[in-house]
Amino acid sequence: MKHILICVLVSVSFCGQTVVAPLVTAEGPRGVIASEVVLASSPEPAEISAYNPGLARLPDGRLIATYNLRRGFIKTSDDHGQTWQDRGIFSFRHARPFCAGNSVYILGHSNDLMVIRSDDRGETWSEEVKLTEGQRWHQAPCNVWYANGNVYLVMERIERPEDFKGWSVTYTAPVLMRGKVGDDLTRRESWTFASELFFHDVVDPNQVKYLGVPFYPYDPNASIEIVPGRKNYTLGWLETNVLQIVDPDHIWYDPSGHTFHLYMRTYTGRSNIGAIAKVVENADGTMTTMLEKAPSGKELVYIPLPGGQMKFHILYDEQTKLYWLLSTQAVDSMKKPQLLEEGRFGLADNERRRLQLHFSSNAVDWCFAGIVAIGKTHYDSRHYASMVIDGDDLHVLSRSGNSEAASAHNTNIITLHTIRNFRDLVY
């Protein structure tokens, strides 16, 4: 078997600056297309997990990275990820950095939606501001879309009954948010929220036929143990990306430019299935969320999607006119639950150690581009990643683990992966 040489690097901090330095050159598995840098590590892997990596690129090339180690941290890089400078700390979770006009924002939640703003390229930050009051929100750092002079992104509101004892994904609504690029997006009135569409309102698990969903026995109101130590939850969707269909020949193309498609991770017990909905902007400026339809008139919820069983990230590249999909590759989703190895998290479809890259011209048919990273063991997760285009390269920031990780879910490091000349992967 052929191998390729991969430069493995570590990060060292000097006076607030993280310097990436080569540690060793080692052989990696054939097909891995990216370098790997450890950007941050948990000081107490058993107690403090590394979560929620977010990544943005400013127009001048500066990179902004965010992640959580109990608190949220902000770093910037002006040399394409070679060195990083500490820039701030925040208190909320699931932070997502993005640009709008001359400002940079970081949006997340601490139950309510929270946001901070920088007007000096991420060097200093405002006080934290609440955008909602008395609500419960969720959303891992997924993509951001720009159109019509606005920025669009999705956060997810949770509204579950008090007596519900399962995972909240069935009571989750993806909410498309729209803000004008030049407005102050730390102000609630600067945002328009789409109508809410909760999973439990549109999907009856007993009526999903011929798809094998739900794959395992389930309780609609609680989690149940399939085998000792491994639970199954009710169906749901979460961790939503937003995109527009830009090809006039596409069945779902809207020539007015006011339709947005929501792509979501699904919890079904099966791998490679995502969920889809759409949001239409109305003449009065409101936004309505609804299901998409096939030409037959049948409504769609589930859609084939490589890695749709886990959080994924979608980018559109104007240069290639292609959508790029970063997701988790499952290779052993049919293994009997009672036979799963130590280190496997959850049920068999919940593998978390392989990051993969695909591209598509229509956001439905995906071509495999390569493997971004593979962990050596099931504790060595490479998952829940974000990505940005930086010139000819693609940077990926991953929630990762090593042998010290508490579990494949509760990981202990944040890794940066760079794919050089990523457009050369197109065939």
For the stretch 102-117, what's the b/e string if a residue is b when 16 or more beta carbons lie within 10 angstroms of its beta carbon? ebbbbbbbebebbbbb
Give first-to-last CA distance, the chain, whole Å.
23
Q: Which pLDDT does position 31 carry in this prediction?
A: 77
Beta-strand runs (E) in 29-70:
36-41, 50-57, 63-69
For tokens 């299935």, name the residue.
Answer: 273
The three-point CA angle 259-287-280 to 5° equals 20
Confidence of residue 4 (pLDDT cuts 50, 70, 90): very low
Which tokens is 316 given? Answer: 């559109």
User: What are the residues whose beta carbons fall under 8 Å from the beta carbon of 177, sequence distance 6 or more?
Assistant: 152, 153, 154, 155, 191, 192, 193, 194
Average pLDDT over the chain, rounded to whole? 93
What digits encode the pLDDT tens for the residues 132-189?
Answer: 999 999 999 999 999 999 999 999 999 999 999 999 999 999 999 999 999 999 999 9
Q: pTM for this one?
A: 0.94
pLDDT tens, 236-249? 999 999 999 999 99
**pLDDT reading at 7 higher than 60:** no
Convert the pLDDT of each residue in 16-28 to its tens digit: 566 554 332 233 4
Q: What is the mean pLDDT of residues 293-308?
A: 97
Segments in 210-320 forming alpha helices (H): none
Phi, psi of 78 (to 5 degrees): -110, 10
pLDDT category, 120, cuts 50, 70, 90? very high
In DSSP terms, 416 is beta-bridged to 37, 397
Question: Do 289 and 194 touch, CB atoms closer than 8 A?
Answer: yes
Pairs from 117-121 (Cβ < 8 Å, separation ≥ 24): 117/184, 117/185, 117/186, 121/58, 121/60, 121/62, 121/76
Beta carbons of 318 and 244 less than 8 angstroms apart: no
Q: Say if residue 101's pLDDT is above 70.
A: yes
CA dist 51 and 71 (Å) reads 10
pLDDT of residue 76: 98
Q: Which two tokens stand for residue 160?
A: 């579950």
